[in-house]
A and B are shown apart, each in its own frame.
Chain A
Amino acid sequence: MVRPRCLPGHSPARQILMSSEDAACDEQLMLAYAAGDAQAFDRLYEHYRTALYGFILRQVKDPVASNDIYQQCWEKLIKGRHSYRSKSPFPAWLFRIARNTVVDHFRRESKTPGGELPELVSDTAGPEQQSLETEVEESLSAAIAKLPTEQREVVLLRLEAGLDLAAIANITGVNTETCKSRLRYALAKLQQQMQDTDATSGGQHAAQ
């Protein structure tokens, strides 16, 4: 998943580890937009549209609700543009807005009491259909969908937004060690799922 940032070929996953000059690019675009530059917003939007939408849809799993939340996120960003400070990395700010909007959505839906993200129901398809899906679809997406919400959130903030553990911990409101623990569990499950998928796919291909 390679997305352009200020320099072509830079993936979001490497954003945080880039030089301070490169990392400041999105922040400058955001400040330029707040000062009235509409084109700066267009560039910023182009950089983050798929990442943000993917993050929301993979969390909510409802296209209609995702569309609504996605628009709400950008609306909050647009209306709050004057409150943005360049001390905060732009992706961290954007995905904090997105995460809060998703949490608000779940609260409104009364899916989780106390503001915790809901434990989303895993795919209800049978084993045969599952194996077909994993073969047709990208297996990682399906594996992420099966993760517990807190672990999925950490994974998506890394894969979609390219944030480091400190930023993810900051956004999710936990300390870095908790965040690291969630990621470790998630990674183990994902690797196991991927191995199972590979084995299933390999077995089916061998049988054919």
Chain B
Amino acid sequence: MRPNKPTADERELLQQLDQLQARAQMPEIEPPALIDQAVRNMARRELHGHSPPLAGKLRWIAGLSTASIALIALGISLVQSPYEPGPADESFKSKKTEISSMREESRSATPAAPPAPVSGARLKQDQQLPKESLEKQSVLADSPYNQAELAEEMESADIDSAQAGEDPALAWLDLIQQLHEQGLRAEALEQLQAWQQQYPDQPLPNWAAELLAPKH
């Protein structure tokens, strides 16, 4: 609304009023200082409370906060997700398989061990194994990893007995003697005949020769 140009009549009226005011010197009335301060404070408070430019300035902070929160959430979800093997894990697995197959090959190349019952060292070891470890073996038998581990352990036990200098032929013979002494003559004889076939060059002790000799 822009003011229209006043007419001469209006101008004259207004001039008369202005002249009257100039002559009378109508005093200015000041509002109380406290009210001045209250109004100014109100004006500033309103600007700080609902200022669109201020909101604009803070908008980038809000965006940054949102992005940070999203990043943290992504990090947490990655940490909590189940493990999936990567390329490095695959190469490690193939290497392991290769080593296992090499070990199998080397094992098959070595001479065959005597039949299970004749392994005195193994029998002794089984007898010496504590009950707890046996239970543990049975419990862990399902796990392929644990079975392999146990097999490796037993293998190393064999190696240890051989390294200790114990002759498998003599050990077997000891076992046969124990059977004979316990009165199990038939079993002892059977085992002794088998032993003799396995070790024909081994000299026979007296008790073994008596056992083999026909009874009259």
Q: Is B3 positioned at the interface, with any CB of A under 8 Å from its CB?
A: yes
CA–CA, A15 to B136, complex, Å? 104
Contact, CB under 8 Å: B2 / A89: yes
CA–CA, A137 to B29, complex, Å? 13
Provide 24 A-B residue pairs closer than 8 Å at the C-beta atoms, listed in order of the A residue. A16-B3, A17-B3, A35-B52, A35-B53, A36-B54, A38-B44, A38-B47, A42-B43, A50-B31, A58-B29, A140-B20, A140-B21, A140-B26, A141-B27, A143-B24, A159-B17, A159-B21, A159-B26, A165-B6, A165-B10, A165-B14, A180-B9, A183-B14, A191-B16
CA–CA, A92 to B2, complex, Å? 10
Contact, CB under 8 Å: A139 / B47: no
Chain A residue total in the interface (Cβ 8 A): 54
Instruction: Convert A93-104 into 0s and 1s, putting 1 for each residue whose CB lies closer than 8 angstroms to a CB of B.
Output: 000000000000
> What residues of B have a CB within 8 angstroms of the CB of A71 in the complex?
35, 38-39
Instruction: Tell me the minimal C-beta distance from B15 to chain A in angstroms.
Output: 10
Q: Is B42 positioned at the interface, with any CB of A under 8 Å from its CB?
A: yes
- Cross-chain contact of A53 among B2, B31, B54 (Cβ < 8 A): B31
> What residues of A have a CB within 8 angstroms of the CB of B17 in the complex?
155, 158-159, 183, 187, 190
Chain B, residue nearest A3 (CB): B28
Contact, CB under 8 Å: B24 / A194: yes
Instruction: Convert A184-196 into 0s and 1s, putting 1 for each residue whose CB lies closer than 8 angstroms to a CB of B.
Output: 1001001100100
> What residues of B have a CB within 8 angstroms of the CB of A194 in the complex?
20, 23-24
Given contacts A36-B54, A165-B6, 9 further A-B contacts (CB under 8 A): A1-B28, A16-B3, A50-B29, A75-B39, A78-B46, A140-B23, A159-B26, A180-B9, A194-B23
Instruction: Tell me the minimal C-beta distance from B106 to chain A in angstroms.
Output: 85
Q: 4 tightest CB-CB pairs across the interface, nearest first?
A: A140-B24, A53-B31, A36-B53, A54-B29
* A45-B40, A92-B1, A164-B10 known; A187 vs B24 contact (CB < 8 Å): no
Instruction: Convert A47-85 into 0s and 1s, putting 1 for each residue whose CB lies closer than 8 angstroms to a CB of B.
Output: 001100110011000000001001100110011010000
Q: Is A199 positioned at the interface, with any CB of B under 8 Å from its CB?
A: no
> What residues of A have a CB within 8 angstroms of the CB of B47 in the complex?
33, 36, 38
CA–CA, A138 to B30, complex, Å? 15
> What residues of B have a CB within 8 angstroms of the CB of A166 in the complex?
3-4, 6
CA–CA, A165 to B7, complex, Å? 10
CA–CA, A57 to B1, complex, Å? 27
> What residues of A have a CB within 8 angstroms of the CB of B1 in the complex?
87-89, 92, 167, 170
Contact, CB under 8 Å: B30 / A78: no
Contact, CB under 8 Å: A33 / B29: no
Contact, CB under 8 Å: B54 / A54: no
CA–CA, A107 to B1, complex, Å? 28
Chain B, residue nearest A170 (CB): B1
> What residues of A have a CB within 8 angstroms of the CB of B21 in the complex?
1, 13, 140, 159
Contact, CB under 8 Å: A138 / B9: no
Q: Is B81 positioned at the interface, with any CB of A under 8 Å from its CB?
A: no
- Cross-chain contact of A79 among B6, B10, B46 (Cβ < 8 A): B46
Q: Is A106 positioned at the interface, with any CB of B under 8 Å from its CB?
A: no
Contact, CB under 8 Å: B20 / A49: no
CA–CA, A78 to B46, complex, Å? 7
